[in-house]
């Protein structure tokens, strides 16, 4: 009974999630909305997966990675090869895409033990570029002109992957491992001194983050009919980065909300791509100048509803007269 009480929030959110799923599914299958809006919803789901996976790396572990599009590309191309060239079903493609991206994440994560802050950022950016140029030069997957992929991504797939990503990363964050990652973010030297294997946790964060980025990439590939290396340049990495930064470095719900909002904004401005980028960059600069922790900081949306009653400041014994 106590256990049920403790996990009440969890089951409520699962219930809410399935209600959301069913509603959207009914709306889609009854053809109430046109194809364009369905596509926006799918894109939103994929962006949420990407934002949450980057949130684990930047927001929780504090490793500033700006090569997320590289993992996205690895996942997209691997899954496309599995489904299109080898004739496997989408599920195999998703898993293969995720695993390939995780291996890539480990490759970039292991050198990152020696790099910090700015240097890591540049190394991940370089990694993203190397991935793009590599795909550019492989003729088997179409080289610069890209690869045709049939549309297999459906709402249940997107939703399932999104839910899985959020659940895994949420539970990871709340576990011992997640707390270790947070301590690495707060102060790496102190964490090291407390006996935390910082290298191990950094690699784990990269591994999990890039796995889900790869899954997102697989869904991406099967949603847009064609994938080209030029889609995965560093502008794509910045697109994902801005979700995490705007939502709040360290807030998963913030990243999700930012992903939803900015996808809507960019859909409204599809006709004016420069205006969109000008707005994006202004958002980045103004957020950093006036609210450097992002909209929600490290808080979650759920914490706005709970605990307010219990959190009354002041000393425990009710003494209001003592100074200091």
Q: Site residues (CB under 8 A) for another protein?
A: 58, 62, 64, 66, 111, 114-115, 117-119, 121-123, 125-127, 129-130, 133-134, 136-137, 189, 238, 241, 245, 249, 274-275, 277-278, 280-285, 288-289, 292
Q: Which is nearer to another protein, 55 or 222 (CB)?
A: 55
Distance in Å, CB of 241 to another protein, minimum: 8
Q: Which is nearer to another protein, 289 or 323 (CB)?
A: 289
Q: At 123, phi and psi to the nearest 5?
A: -65, -40
Distance in Å, CB of 10 to another protein, minimum: 31
DSSP state for residue 114 in the 8-state scheme = G
Distance in Å, CB of 301 to another protein, minimum: 22
Q: Which is nearer to another protein, 175 or 275 (CB)?
A: 275
Cα distances (Å, whole numbers) of residue 227 to 149, 239, 295:
7, 17, 33
Distance in Å, CB of 64 to another protein, minimum: 5
Distance in Å, CB of 230 to another protein, minimum: 12
Closest CA to 104 of 134, 139, 60: 134
Q: Which is nearer to another protein, 89 or 111 (CB)?
A: 111
Q: Which is nearer to another protein, 245 or 256 (CB)?
A: 245
Distance in Å, CB of 132 to another protein, minimum: 9
CA 9 to centroid of chain Cα atoms: 22
Residue with tokens 């909002």: 261
User: How many residues are recorded in the chain?
Assistant: 324
Residue with tokens 């045709």: 148
Q: Which is nearer to another protein, 63 or 263 (CB)?
A: 63
Residue with tokens 């807030």: 251
Q: Which is nearer to another protein, 82 or 243 (CB)?
A: 243
DSSP string, 127-183: HHHHHHHHHHT-GGGTGGG-EE------HHHHHHHHHHHHHHHHHHHTSHHHHHHHH
Distance in Å, CB of 285 to another protein, minimum: 4
Burial of 190 (0-12, 13-18, 19+ CB in 10 A): exposed
Closest CA to 39 of 47, 242, 241, 19: 47
């Amino acid at each position: 009974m106590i256990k049920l009480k403790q996990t009440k929030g969890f089951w409520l959110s699962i219930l809410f999630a399935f209600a959301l799923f069913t509603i959207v599914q009914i709306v889609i299958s009854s053809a109430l909305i046109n194809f364009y809006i369905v596509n926006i919803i799918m894109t939103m789901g994929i962006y949420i997966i990407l934002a949450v996976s980057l949130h684990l790396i930047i927001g929780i572990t504090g490793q500033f990675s700006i090569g997320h599009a590289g993992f996205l590309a690895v996942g997209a191309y691997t899954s496309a090869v599995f489904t299109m060239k080898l004739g496997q079903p989408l599920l195999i493609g998703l898993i293969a895409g995720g695993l390939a991206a995780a291996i890539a994440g480990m490759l970039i994560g292991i050198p990152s033990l020696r790099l910090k802050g700015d240097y890591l950022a540049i190394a991940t950016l370089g990694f993203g570029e190397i991935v793009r140029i590599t795909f550019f030069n492989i003729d088997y997957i179409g080289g610069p002109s890209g690869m045709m992929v049939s549309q297999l991504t459906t709402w249940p797939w997107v939703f399932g992957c999104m839910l899985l990503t959020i659940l895994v990363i949420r539970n990871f964050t709340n576990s011992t491992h997640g707390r270790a990652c947070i301590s690495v973010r707060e102060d790496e030297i102190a964490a090291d001194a407390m006996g935390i294997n910082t290298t191990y946790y950094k690699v784990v964060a990269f591994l999990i983050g890039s796995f889900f980025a790869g899954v997102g990439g697989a869904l991406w590939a099967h949603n847009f009919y064609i994938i080209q290396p030029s889609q995965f340049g560093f502008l794509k990495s910045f697109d994902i980065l801005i979700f995490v930064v705007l939502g709040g470095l360290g807030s998963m719900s913030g990243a999700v909300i930012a992903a939803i909002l900015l996808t809507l904004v960019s859909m409204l401005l599809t006709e004016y791509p420069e205006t969109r980028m000008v707005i994006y960059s202004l958002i980045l600069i103004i957020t950093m100048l006036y609210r450097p922790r992002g909209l929600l900081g490290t808080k979650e949306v759920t914490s706005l509803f709970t605990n307010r009653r219990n959190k009354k400041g002041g000393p425990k014994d009710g003494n209001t007269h003592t100074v200091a």
